[in-house]
Structure 1
Amino acid sequence: MNRPLSLLGVTVALLTGCATGPATPTTQVPRYDTVAQVAVFPGDTPAQLAQKVGGTVLSWPSADCEGEDCTALVGLNTPAVQGLRALGGRPARIEPNRDVFGGGGGLSARMNGAVTVWSGGSVYVWSGGSRSIWSGGTYAPLPENTALWQKIGLETAHRLAPNLGAGVTVAVIDTGIDLVHPAFAGALTAPGTWRDFYGGDATPQEEGVLGQGAYGHGTNVAGIVLQIAPRAQILPLRVLGPDGSGDVAMVAQAITYAAQQGAQVINLSLGSTQNSPAVQDAVRRVAEQGVLVVSSAGNDNMSRITSPASLAEMKGVLGDNLLSVGSVDLRDLKSSFSNYAESLEMVAPGENVAAPAPDGRVAAWSGTSMAAPMAAGGLALALGQPLTVPAKEVSQKMAESAFNVYSDGANSEYKNRLGIKGRLDLPAFLKSVIRF
């Protein structure tokens, strides 16, 4: 049985006080016990396939598909094998669907319990005009993050990549975001591109109660991407519910949809302890289109990383374009919660990362979910500049240019299991891939 990546608990007082949103989703799509990838042959129609299998066709292949890409995604609540037998034994892969994926991380702010309202204006506005992101080495929009951003060299990175990610779309596939938060003004793609796969509509607004489940998770993740690449555009896609769980079908569909909408980078701060063939195929297809995918490693302190991050070790274009990210603290020591493995490609500081929170507020979260969008934002910085290497090499260059977290005996217990070299180093990375 697949198990979703766990959420970290609330450990200290919140920056955000007791702001709340809707306790339950206002709408929700039908959810299925299992999902099947069924081969589609010439002459098939969605209606015929649905009738024969006794399920619901969730996606249909394009007319120019070839080979293994000619499959339909079918949701099933009845015994799947019986319906598939009616198709004469054609190729099909069945897997559990409901609540297989989860978003990791937990609120971890420490501000003496004070209510903090976002007062910095749009992150995009801070990237230009009369105001500066940096003031005397302090990160002006959120001074709480100054030490974090100094650690990964963000101020220098902003000088090296002055376009700040302009022209790059980063899809945040998560719990949705606070669509009206002032931090995101001018920083989101056109509303017509938004999608809520969990709610079944075009409004991927976060829903839930602050301090419970994953409410605020996606807003935090999107806010981290924009702090790294302030002029990138966020494509908000919701696949996780208020408790942080979501279905295979939702995640797979969102990955495919993100590429169709022109996303150059996809952030997946979610995972499962078991590989999903449907999600793996979706990641493979977008990777073949040149999309860079970043995925968090999981928060169970296990010596294995969750999927889809674990797919980064695979050979070929899938492995080249997929980047797995774990977490360290400000001393570059493995975070107590972070998963680790020899297949893990890199780490980033994922503890107490302040960012926008629902209801126009600010909160800090901890988790590998917070480390992944730092890498996604770094990729957006690079893609916003002229490159000296093919785009397919950019993710690997980020891992190879990381700061060595194993020097002087540090992390000896996790030697070679916190990345090729270790922690995200934005200046070193950018110097290795962009043209000056």
Structure 2
Amino acid sequence: MKETPMTRPTLIRSSMGLLLSAALLTACGTSTPTAAVPQPGAGSSAEQIVTVLNPDPALSDVQLAARHGGTLVTRTPAFAVIAAADTRPLTAQNAGLGVVRERNRGALSLPAMNRVNAGSNTIGGQGVNYWGGGVAYWGNGVAYWGGSTTLWGSGVAYWGGGVNYWGGGVNYWGGGGQNGTTVANIDTWQSIGLDVAQTRLGANGVPGAGVTIAVLDTGVDVAHPMFTSSLTPQDTWYDFADGDALPMDDGTFGQDASGHGTEVAGLALIVAPGAKIMPVRVLDAQGQGNVSSVVQGILWATDHGADIINLSLGSDEPVEAVKQAIGYANDAGVVVVASAGNAGTEGLRYPAGHFAGSALNLAVGSHGLAWNKSAFSQYGALSLLAPGEELVGPAPGGRLAAWSGTSMSAPVVAGAAALALSSGSLNGADAVRRIQATATGVDALAANQPFAGKLGAGRLNLDALTRP
């Protein structure tokens, strides 16, 4: 049974964390934002949400909510979000008004995904293959891991050659174990220089150490062996989809979107094994989420010490409330990474579609092993591309899964941002600039020429990113 907290936990940062926060705020020229305590469950049944820009400070919370006919979800000096008690015509997104009325329930979701080599094991249309307990389910009869080897809980190392990546201590390329000829996706990871980057950074500690990545998604299987010692303190977790304190990635794995958040969190850790994951559930088992939940999740993650927020979700329409919440995170120096979408068309899903020219946000598309834009990846005002095809990561129940989509590309970049931040010399804006400045252009590749100028800075290059 899940436990509902009686009070909102207070984050106590270390002195190093405080210094880092101060440096971030100074560099960005901002002041520490303040928000009303998110009201878990507020707005969960409302069909519409009202975003009030620059709410009148003379109005109390009760007065403000009454003026706009609803229940307050959250409030900051820059904006307030109110769950509407009635339904009225929605606001045109380009109206530029101080009050915006939008759809709330189910307005945000996982990006739709075409089936990619999934056989009969397609989860929620997301193109996922899974296996576990010694049985391979690749949809093509191939036993990827060989025979009846069980990877989790049996002492068998995921990275192979005696490198025990998932349990006990965290090892990695350059962490004292072998460099892993049996690493899943080894060609993909080496193609972006992950092995070189981790070996280089490993001389000074575990890559990504000291950085917190908040994963706002379907939740995380917090009992999965991969996350042993890799989660933030439990009082920083929250489930805004159910309104309780256990953001578990539930549902029925293999039948709905269950496992999506677990995979996303795992991919971020593969890139930055020393980082901590903050699980914040904002989507249900079908991959649907309310605007109110996502807004509260962003504010929660910001207020509880996230350095990076990963949003492998979005909407085909702009969502002002989410845009404002991301602005709140940015004011605190938080980097936000969002997936571009999987329709294969020009133009990005939102919030990634708002990120052009942003100093702290990254809109991420997908590429394959040859660095070609993935057929499913949306393009246009991208920040860059990252691997997003058949990436192997953890799945609920101690299993593994291979997912495809820009949902997978985003946490790879979130992990890259953690590598940059863990050096201690960069703030969030510096990390975002460096990730793009060190990316390798891919427009000249024959398959990418039709998209020239629409693939951002190119493809992620972790070797270049981590060079002195």
TM range (shorter): 0.7 to 0.9
RMSD between superposed Cα atoms in Å:
2.6
State which of 72, 90, 97 in structure 1 corresponds to 2:80: 72
The offset of 1:289, in angstroms, is: 1.6
Q: Is the 8 A contact 2:218 2:258 kept in 1?
A: yes
- Structure 1 residues 92 and 227: alpha-carbon distance in aligned structure 2, compared to 1, 3 A threshold: same
Which residue identity is paired with 1:31? S
TM-score by length of 2: 0.76
| Counterpart mapping for 1:285-304 below 5 A | 285-304=328-347
CA distance in 2, matches of 1:416, 1:42: 44
Q: Which residue in the other structure is 1:328 paired with?
A: 367
Q: Is the 8 A contact 1:126 1:132 kept in 2?
A: no
| Counterpart mapping for 1:27-426 below 5 A | 30-38=44-52, 40-61=55-76, 65=77, 69=78, 71-80=79-88, 91-104=98-111, 105=113, 106-109=126-129, 111=138, 112=141, 118-119=152-153, 120=157, 123=166, 125=168, 127-128=170-171, 132=175, 135-138=178-181, 143-162=183-202, 163=205, 164-314=207-357, 319-341=358-380, 343-387=381-425, 390-420=427-457, 422-426=458-462
Q: How many pairs align?
A: 382
- Structure 1 residues 54 and 235: alpha-carbon distance in aligned structure 2, compared to 1, 3 A threshold: same
Q: Is the 8 A contact 2:372 2:448 kept in 1?
A: yes
The answer for unaligned runs of 5 or more in structure 2 is 1-39, 90-96, 114-125, 130-136, 158-163
User: Which string of whole-angstrom CA distances, capped at 9 and with x for unpartnered residues, describes residues 381-425 of structure 1?
Assistant: 1111132x55412212212211222235341111122222x1111
The offset of 1:190, in angstroms, is: 0.5
- Structure 1 residues 130 and 393: alpha-carbon distance in aligned structure 2, compared to 1, 3 A threshold: closer
Q: Is the 8 A contact 2:266 2:394 kept in 1?
A: yes
CA distance in 1, matches of 2:57, 2:169: 53
Identity score, percent? 38
CA distance in 2, matches of 1:272, 1:79: 20
CA distance in 2, matches of 1:424, 1:130: 18
Which residue identity is paired with 2:448? N
Which residue identity is paired with 1:160? R
Q: With a CA cutoff of 8 Å and minimum separation of 6, indicate the structure with the bigger relative contact order.
A: 1
The offset of 1:126, in angstroms, is: 5.1
The offset of 1:296, in angstroms, is: 0.5
Q: Is the 8 A contact 2:174 2:198 kept in 1?
A: no
Helix, strand or coil at the partner of 2:222: coil
Which residue identity is paired with 1:237? V
The offset of 1:134, in angstroms, is: 5.3
The offset of 1:72, in angstroms, is: 2.3
Q: Is the 8 A contact 2:172 2:273 kept in 1?
A: no
The answer for unaligned runs of 5 or more in structure 1 is 1-26, 82-89
User: Which string of whole-angstrom CA distances, capped at 9 and with x for unpartnered residues, describes residues 48-69 of structure 1?
Assistant: 33344432211132xxx3xxx0
TM-score by length of 1: 0.81
Q: Which residue in the other structure is 1:84 paired with?
A: none
CA distance in 1, matches of 2:340, 2:176: 30
Helix, strand or coil at the partner of 1:202: coil
Q: Which residue in the other structure is 1:14 paired with?
A: none
Q: Greater CA deviation, 390-399 or 221-230? A: 390-399
User: Which string of whole-angstrom CA distances, capped at 9 and with x for unpartnered residues, describes residues 3-37 of structure 1?
Assistant: xxxxxxxxxxxxxxxxxxxxxxxx97732111112
CA distance in 2, matches of 1:172, 1:293: 10
Displaced runs of 4 or more, over 6 A = none
Which residue identity is paired with 1:157? A
Q: Is the 8 A contact 1:171 1:265 kept in 2?
A: yes
Helix, strand or coil at the partner of 1:73: strand
